[in-house]
Amino acid sequence: MEGAASDGGARNDYLSRVYRHIEPYRSYPAAARAGGQHGRVVTRVTINRDGGLIDLRLDRSSGWPLIDEAEMAAIRRAMPLPPVPNGMRGDPVVLVLPMNY
């Protein structure tokens, strides 16, 4: 149980670093904002341990293609992500990243 708990802590710390890393690359599309489009988009990002992109998929659409594409583009621009810490399991590593617009 201790190993799983420490892995969870390492994963949460890493996810926080990933969100901070991607944030400067995000932009709310002007047309989406003007149109009152908002929602939660969920992406599934598969990376190697060095943070390099293996796969990027839309896990759940916000319901607005402009927002979905903006989030996917932000993640692509942010690559590579920070290297995966030694305390976190997986190779490759799959991250599920929800983001509200």
The class (CATH top level) of 2-100 is alpha beta
Residue 8 pLDDT level (bands cut at 50, 70, 90): confident
> Rounded mean pLDDT of 62-77?
98
- The upper half-sphere exposure of residue 55, i.e. CA atoms within 13 Å in the direction of its Cβ, equals 10
- Over 60: is that where the pLDDT of 3 sits? no
How far apart CA 55 and CA 76 sit, in angstroms, is: 10
- Over 60: is that where the pLDDT of 96 sits? yes
Residue 2 pLDDT level (bands cut at 50, 70, 90): very low
Question: In this structure, what are the phi and psi dihedrals at residue 80, rounded to the nearest 5 degrees?
Answer: -80, 155
Domain segments of the chain as ranges: 2-100
User: Which is nearest to 93 in space by CA: 40, 52, 43?
Assistant: 52
